[in-house]
Amino acid sequence: MKVIKKINNNVAVCLDNDGHELIAFGKGIGFPKTPYELTDLSKIWRTYYGINPSYLGLLNDIPEEVFELSIKIVDFAKMKIENQINSNIVFTLADHINFAIERFKKNLDIRMPFVYDIQHLYESEMQIGLFAIKLINKSMNVYLTKDEAVSIALHFINAENMQRNANDESDENKVICDITNLIEKDFEMSVNREGFNYSRFVTHLQYLMKRQETNISITSENKKLFDSMKAEYSKTYQCVSHIQTYLKDHLEWNPSEEELLYLMLHINRLCSREDCNR
């Protein structure tokens, strides 16, 4: 195996013997100067093919122990889910977990009022979510609730390789592009659409739209937090209001306050990384 690019001390981009690119996790494989031939393959403990390059920045943005948790959860999921799971989920799930831990530390508790529906409609995915929060809470000394198990379950529901026709995918891409244009206009800035910050934001938009497609309604049980965010981040709320109008006009979808709060959180996160206030 040839190591061609260091990501960090324990992760690198490699080429296998057939010349196929992969991401390898292994103790110290990023230390030597690249490129070099790795002859001791016992150092490699995990490899992933077909990873979106924009996600690689997450490896330097998220603690290593969070990635290790994500890998364990995905391994567990593969025993529970019959559908194929995209390899990128290890990276997007790690980001999801890291953000959940950040919210816990800031006392930002978002309630998920449809626990019962997910338990009965997606039993396997809910088992994964419950396994995940038990593992996360024990390993990271936090207390993520059953609501976060639902979020993780929905993350897997969204990540499974379900059959979708080209028109649906094209429509979704147009909606995402239009929403991004609204954000850029309201904040008078340009989003780097090739970077992992944007890829992460798109993942959360897809997650939100998946809930709408499956008719999983969200009620407003976070009224106090929504009002607080609305007052503190008036510019973000104005942007979200424009997105709400767009969704009403183009998708006949009127997002609830819960969904608007979700959008506000992730637009703020995108802006903090893209320097929207410059």
Residue ranges covered by each domain of the chain: 2-49, 68-159, 166-274
44 in helix, strand or coil? strand
The 10s digit of each residue's pLDDT in 200-223 is 788 778 777 766 765 554 554 567
Q: Which residues of the chain have pLDDT under 50?
A: 161-167, 217, 220, 277-278
Q: What is the CATH number of domain 2-49?
A: 2.30.24.10
The 10s digit of each residue's pLDDT in 128-160 is 999 999 999 999 999 998 888 988 988 887 776
**Residue listed under structure tokens 């607080």:** 228
Query: How is residue 253 written in tokens?
Result: 């979808």
**Regarding the domain with residue range 68-159, which homologous superfamily does it belong to in the CATH classification?**
PRD domain (1.10.1790.10)
Domain 166-274 in this protein, CATH class: mainly alpha
Percentage above 90 pLDDT, the chain: 38
Domains 68-159 and 166-274 share a fold: yes
82 in helix, strand or coil? coil
Q: Calculate the alpha carbon distances from 231 to 49, 108, 268 in Å.
A: 44, 16, 14
